[in-house]
Amino acid sequence: ITGFRLALGGAQEYYGVEPDITVLGKILGGGFPIGAFCGSEEIFSLLDHRKYPKMDDRSAHGGTFTGNPISTSAGNATLDHLMKNNTIKEINRKGKKI
């Protein structure tokens, strides 16, 4: 729910929590349709078709905008902006001031 409002790593970074899976939605794309899920290598290895060639042994995922170049570019631009400009620290500083 907090997206990048607390930290670049979300609320889990801010509070020092290591989740099994993190899901990001519209906050990632700056208004473009995008979603992402992130997790540990242990969890995501279950998606590896080379490690688990039989479909019954692994998981799979897909979606309407999977690999969409415009949404992916928007996501990269959003992350670049947040990382390069100290945006989150500045927002939190101003929020405390208010």
Would you say residue 80 lies in a domain?
A: yes
One-letter amino acid for residue 40 of the chain: S
Spatial separation of the C-alpha atoms in residues 87 and 32, rounded to whole Å: 19
**Structural domains of the chain, count:** 1
Q: Domain span at residue 85? A: 10-97
pLDDT tens column, 31-88: 888 888 888 888 888 888 888 888 888 777 777 778 889 999 999 998 898 888 888 8
pTM for the model stands at 0.68
Would you say residue 32 lies in a domain?
A: yes
Would you say residue 72 lies in a domain?
A: yes
CATH of the domain at 55: 3.40.640.10
Would you say residue 1 lies in a domain?
A: no
One DSSP character per residue, the chain reads --TTSS-TTHHHHHHT---SEEEE-GGGGTTSS--EEEE-HHHHGGG-TTT--SGGGS-----TTTT-HHHHHHHHHHHHHHHHTTHHHHHHHHHHH-
